[in-house]
Amino acid sequence: MMNVMLSIFSVVPIQYYIFISAVLFCIGVLGVLFRRNAIIIFMSVELMLNSVNLLLVAFSAYHNDASGQVFVFFVMAVAAAEVAVGLSILVTIYRNVHSVDIDELKSLKH
């Protein structure tokens, strides 16, 4: 597996991976900032985390060091826990407000 990845790296330079991750990350950030639907915001956060995973795996193969790939497992586990909690908060909100639009959430003073 490692050999296959290394051979891919001899073809695709590391800069490309950095660029694609940065682009994915920016799409995620813009989604969080500009979309008003909570579920789409969750998906954008996941996109941010997955761009990080891609970057970590790319660097891991570049440095020939496995710790980056192990870190990816931590990120995936934490993202799963995080989204489980986030969706359950969303369900309680939907039960009370009957909407998943975050602009509806203004009961607290701004």
Partner 1 sequence: MNTLIYTSALGLLCMLAEMANLRKLILPIAVAGLCVIFGLNVTDWGKNGAYYHNMVVTDNFSVAFSGLLLLLGIFITLLAGNFYKNEESKISDYLAIIIFTLCGALALVSFGNLAMFFLGIEVLSISLYILAGSKKKDVRSNEAGMKYFLMGSFASGILLFGVALIYGETGSFDLGAISNYASATHPSVLFYAGAGMILISMLFKVSAAPFHFWAPDVYEGSPTLTTAMMATIAKIAAFAAFYRLFSHAFISVFPPYAWVFTAVTALTITIGNFTALNQDSFKRMLAFSGISHAGYLMLGIISLYGKTDNAIFFYSFAYGISSMAAFAIAIVVAMNLGSEKIEAFNGLGKRKPFLAAALTIAMLSMAGIPPLAGFFGKYYIFSEAIRNGHLWITVVAVINSIVSVYYYMKVVLAMYTKDSVETAFTLKPAYSFVIGFCILLLFLAGIFPGLLTGLL
**Residue 81 is a binding residue for partner 1 (CB under 8 A):** yes
**Residue 68 is a binding residue for partner 1 (CB under 8 A):** yes
Torsion 9-13-18-21 (CA) sign: negative
Applying the rule CB under 8 A, the residues between 6 and 45 that interact with partner 1 are 14, 18, 21, 25, 28-29, 32, 38, 41, 45
Backbone angles phi, psi at 91, to 5 degrees: -65, -45
On whether the CB atoms of residues 33 and 56 are closer than 8 A, the answer is: no
Nearest-angstrom CA–CA distance, 98 and 12: 48
Nearest-angstrom CA–CA distance, 1 and 73: 17
Contacting residues toward partner 1, per CB under 8 A: 14, 18, 21, 25, 28-29, 32, 38, 41, 45, 48-49, 51-52, 55-56, 58-60, 62-63, 65, 67-68, 70-71, 74-75, 78, 81-82, 85-86, 89-90, 92-93, 95-97, 102, 105, 107-110
